[in-house]
Every structure is written in C-alpha cells, then in structure tokens.
Amino acid sequence: MESIHALTVTDIRGEAVPLARYRDKVLLIVNTASECMFTPQYTALQALYERYRERGLVVLGFPCDQFGHQEPGDAEQIQGFCTTRFSVSFPLMDKVEVNGPNAAPLYVRLKEAAPGLLGSEKIKWNFTKFLVDKQGRPVKRFAPQTKPEAIASDLERLLAAH
C-alpha cells in the first residue's frame, strides 16, 4: 500500500496541506460531525492529542456531512464549534465525503488499506478512526463507538516504533 504522504488535503481555512508534512508522525484520522451522538469524543480526541503530541501524534479531524446531515455548518461554524465547545487544537480539515463517487482520495486509500467489519470498505458513521504509522501506512480502523482512550495502547506501540 502506497503511503498517504503522497496526498494533499485541504484544511478548514481552505489551504492545501501536503500529508508529507506529517512524515515520521503517527496520525489518527477521524471523520467528525458537530451534531452526532459521538460528538463528545472530541474531548477524548483532544486529550489523546495533548498526551501524545510531544511524542509524535497528530490527530486530523475531517468534518463530514454524509451521515444524517450531522455536520451542516460551514468551515467557520465548524471551527468555532470545535474550539469553543471542545477546545480542539488539533488540525481540522475541510469538510469531505468519505463514501461514494465523491469520496476524498485520502478516504479511498484509508478504506482500501484498513477495511472494516467483514472486509467492508464503506464507512458506516461519523467518528470512524484510522491509525496511520510514521511511514504513512494505514494500519488499523476503529468503529465510531470505540472510545479514543481505548486506542492508547495501539498509539503507544506505533509511537515507540522507529
């Protein structure tokens, strides 16, 4: 599987972000939403980011409105909600689609590399999490109901790897 470092995404301010910027970092990539039953996970995602960022973790939030219209806001509204309600300081990206013909290339790559239950590539809901190693290889997918703190041991292992 080719590294995701070859891809470029767009951040919430509309600026291009080459994922090569995160070479030698462990990434936790999450499709997020402001009006989802899992939205309180922002608190735990921020806690993981604060706990591990000095060791090389970067959490990337990708707002997504494909599930129950749970991310209706524009970039400014999303940014404001995340910082005001959850003190999010990890990078937020532009709103993306994660399934279907307009799925972001990053999500196409993540789903191919780390399929879900029974080999399904389709993302079932908001707050699906993908863990990516320092070489940019997606290594594991976590279901929306998996609490971010439950990922800590997998994070530790990847952060310790060279």
In this predicted model, what pLDDT tens digit does every residue of 85-133 receive, in sequence order? 999 999 999 999 999 999 999 999 999 988 877 677 889 999 999 999 9
Mean pLDDT, the chain, integer: 93
From 36, 45, 93, 158, active-site residue: 36
pLDDT of residue 38: 87
- How far apart CA 6 and CA 24 sit, in angstroms, is 14
**Does the model's pTM come out above 0.75?**
yes
Q: List, in order, residues 6 or more apart from 76 with CB less than 8 Å away.
A: none
Active site residue 64: no
| Domains of the chain from N-terminus onward | 4-160 (3.40.30.10)
Q: How far is CA 50 from the centre of its chain?
A: 15
